[in-house]
Amino acid sequence: MHTRRIGDVEVSAVGLGAMPMSIEGRPDTARSLATLHAALDAGVTLIDTADAYHMGADEVGHNETLVAKALASHDRGGDVLVATKGGHLRPGDGSWTLDGSPAHLRSACEASLRRLGVEAIGLYQFHRPDPRVPYAESVGALRELLDEGKIRMAGISNADPDQIRQADEILGGRLVSVQNQFSPVFRSSEPELRLCDELGVAFLPWGPFGGISRAGELATAHAPFGRIAQAHGVSAHQVCLAWMLAKSPVVVPIPGASRPESIRDSVRAADLVLTPEEIAELDAA
């Protein structure tokens, strides 16, 4: 497995987004654990989760608990950087709400620490800006958690360029990651990706295949991805991830998976080399 860096930590070039294993349509626990173990067997050392990845209001942190169980039951579990997030909530009616208050982020972090069973969270990210709370206050809470040693690294998610610069300043140059939506169908985060490249901050594209509902349509909805995949004898998903990896050395995709075969396919993208002409075609697709 090729590697990249998040802060001072070396991680697999392709990570795993664990959300599909805890939200609507999720598989049973056995298949989820098999998927997580397949990722570890394939060399994945970055797993993305969040306290809001659950369905019912009475199961907050379902995904974090699942990830912790998988890591504890695998001999490579100690090699993994777990990236979790706080600031998003799911009341249990299918909706997503926000709470970026420092008090909430602190309590959310404490709860995540307990569920993950660690003394410090490897990477803690502010999940999404809350318009009711000044951004500086939310990021300031991360700075305090960082200074107290409750988190080892701090990142932000769903941020624009101004917020990235502001967060890095508030954190004293210690911002290590930006997790934004980015895919063939959703490319409006290009400015954030370029800024991360300039700052040397890891850029973690979420929903790289266009979201759970669209993942299976990648090859048909974006013909060049399917055509180039056929030429290489690989899946369109591998081509998509290889295209992202070619954009900048700071890019670390976190494709979601809920089946062992899905993550096994995704990690092979790290070995796929696209030609400059193919990359240009995909950029224009």
Query: Dmax over Cα atoms in the chain, in whole Å?
Result: 53
H helix intervals, the chain = 29-41, 62-72, 102-116, 135-147, 161-170, 190-199, 218-221, 223-232, 236-247, 260-267, 276-284
Residue 68 to residue 91: CA distance in whole angstroms: 23
Distances (CA, A) of 168 to 139, 155, 174, 222: 9, 9, 6, 35
Residue 257 to residue 62: CA distance in whole angstroms: 16
Q: Could you give the residue numbers annotated as active site?
A: 53
4-37: buried (b, 16+ CB within 10 Å) or exposed (e) per residue?
bebbebebbbbbbbbbbbbbeebeeeeebbebbb
Residue 236: partners with Cβ closer than 8 Å, 6 or more residues away: 218, 219, 222, 225, 226, 229
Q: What does DSSP assign to residue 169?
A: H
Element (H, E) at 84: strand 81-86
HSE-CB for 56 with a 13 A CA cutoff: 2
